[in-house]
Chains A and B, each alone.
Chain A
Amino acid sequence: MKTAWAAVLLAPPLAMTLLFFVAPVLYLFWVSLHEPSQSELYGAALTLQNYATVLGDSFYLGIIRRTLGVAAVILALSLLIGYPVAYFVALQPPRRRMLVLLMLIFPLMVSNVVRAYGWVALLGRRGVVNTGLHSVGIIDAPLDLLYNTPAVVTGLMTILLPYMVISIANALAALDRRYEEAAQALGAGPVRTFLHVTLPLSTPGVASGTLLVLLLTLSAYVTITLLGGPRSKLLVSMIYDGVTAFQWPHAAALAFILLALALALTALILALLRPGRVQGSGR
């Protein structure tokens, strides 16, 4: 009776996850190991050629390098800006902190296409920044602020920044203030207290914020396309292009190269930050 009831609870969500999440991803991997075909979705023969082609092509390697570069700059900027903001949030009294966090969560609920459009309206040739600078007389002709890599970095960084702030703020708010007080009682100044006590204790929040921003950066196709245009394509754009060209095995291989990149960077970040060191991180 009890096991039958447990099966009733588990079967539907498990079936959904296995059939429409695990199975298609495994199938995609299977397809990535096959020859391309003119008439079918993929050919009959097994091959690693799809991976070899991408990893041996300087064009794709350049795209991967650009993807890594963009991700690194976005992570660095969102940490540099996000950490002090998170500190500010964590220092607020509980009710006010709730309000500030709500103001950070609300933008995350707005679709990324809307937020990217906001950046287009700001940075476009007839955008607010260009018309503003023109009317003040600083520029004569509109600047090309859109459709380049800095536009992608700016837009994507600000779209994902709330994740970083919320993750770090949660870690800082849960931090036991007595550690900092103890450090100061023992004669450490504010800078030393921060570097040797507060910062290490907040690493679980830094790690989860960093991972969220990284993973969302890697698959943000729409934002990258709207702000980067055709000249600032990243790895995710190549997957989309492969699909629209019906090059299934090629697109599948690119998808798994992106996934491998995501996993490798996740492992690297966890190894660097070692969030597990901090006890009672609450997650």
Chain B
Amino acid sequence: MNRALVAGRALRGTATGVAFTLIVAPILIVVVAAFSPNDYFEFPPPSLSARWFVEFFRLENMRSAFALSVELALLAATVSTVLGTLGALFLARRRGTVAVLLQSLFLAPLVFPTIILGVALLLMYKTIGMPVFPGLLLAHCVVGMPYGFRTVLGSAQALDPALEEAGHSLGAGPLRTLLLLTLPLIWPGVLSGWLFAFIVSFGELNTALFLTGPGLTTLPIEIFSYLQFQGSQLVIAAASTLQIALIVILVAAIERVVGIGRIIRTR
């Protein structure tokens, strides 16, 4: 009897140790490699140096890929959060088949194989002659929209409908009620949706793979093509570490503004 309990506890502890090692080790190695002083990565590193970060910002293609990724993520997160918020406000109080269908449609990009979306968009863009940047931005918006939608839907459904009715009965129109009453109350949901959409856009691979063009590449795709064609240079480790650092800052921002509990509940 007791043996089973002890075995169970040992199994859980061992599995957790193994899992966390396997999940975290590859990320830690990248950060350590970024501070290598030599041309090749040695573990443990003989000393620490920032030369690969200097090299990263010296390389024109890396700099512009980083800038494009930040620009895309800022724009895509904003557009997709606005759209997601509108959809969530529409659906928050609706029931019935149409509402369920619409909700599944808005959440579908989360589970749809994005590689297929990438091919489909590329083909459509070729047919209608879409320029690279807006095409890429729209793809990032489609991929990011479910995040804003989901977090805002949670906040909006938790809202007491009596508050909005009070707004209406005091003579406020729908726009005034939205701006002065609903929006301030669902703000944490909107903000965490925005941060999620930003993070997702910043790391997006499957659609960007097809939609980036010559001279217009995002950081993840630039890292990918470096790894594929130029071998593993340590400037890639620096680029990756900058990616990780930005996410750490954003997660800290989420914790500051809305509390970490919210991220976990919305997952």
What is A's interface to B at a CB cutoff of 8 Å? Answer: 1-2, 5-6, 8-10, 12-14, 16-17, 20-25, 27-28, 31, 41, 81-85, 87-89, 91, 98, 101-107, 109-122, 124, 126, 128, 131-132, 154-155, 158, 161-162, 165-166, 170, 189-191, 194, 211-212, 215, 218-219, 221-222, 225-226, 236, 239-240, 243, 248, 251-252, 255-256, 258-259, 262
Contacts and interface: CB of A to CB of B under 8 A. Distances in A.
Nearest to B82: A12
A106 B260 CA distance: 11
Contacts of A23: 124
A13 B149 contact: yes
B222 to A, nearest CB: 9
A123 to B, nearest CB: 9
B38 to A, nearest CB: 11
A10 B86 contact: yes
Given A28-B120, A88-B13, A255-B120, 13 more contacts: A24-B121, A25-B120, A27-B127, A85-B15, A102-B263, A118-B27, A121-B41, A158-B23, A170-B267, A190-B4, A191-B4, A226-B227, A243-B210
Task: From B23, B86, B112, name the one whose CB has the most chain A CB atoms within 10 angstroms.
Answer: B23
Given A190-B8, A259-B116, A111 B205 contact: yes
A12 B15 contact: no
Given A117-B223, A248-B123, A110 B210 contact: no
Q: Is the interface of A mostly helix, strand, loop or mixed?
A: helix
A82 B19 contact: yes
B116 A115 contact: no
A23 B11 CA distance: 49
B89 A9 contact: yes
A24 B115 CA distance: 12
B126 interface: yes
B113 interface: yes
B138 interface: yes
Interface of B: 1, 4-5, 8, 11-16, 18-20, 22-30, 33, 40-43, 82-84, 86-87, 89-90, 102, 105-106, 108-109, 111-117, 119-124, 126-127, 138-139, 141-142, 145, 149, 174-175, 199, 202-206, 209-210, 220-221, 223-224, 227-228, 232, 236-237, 240, 243-244, 247-248, 250-251, 260-261, 263-264, 267
Contacts, number: 257
Nearest to A163: B267
Contact of B224 (A12, A190, A222): A222
A12 B42 contact: no
B145 A110 contact: no
A40 B173 CA distance: 53
Contacts of B264: 98, 101-102, 105
Contact of A31 (B123, B209, B240): B123
Given A239-B115, A255-B116, A14 B27 contact: no
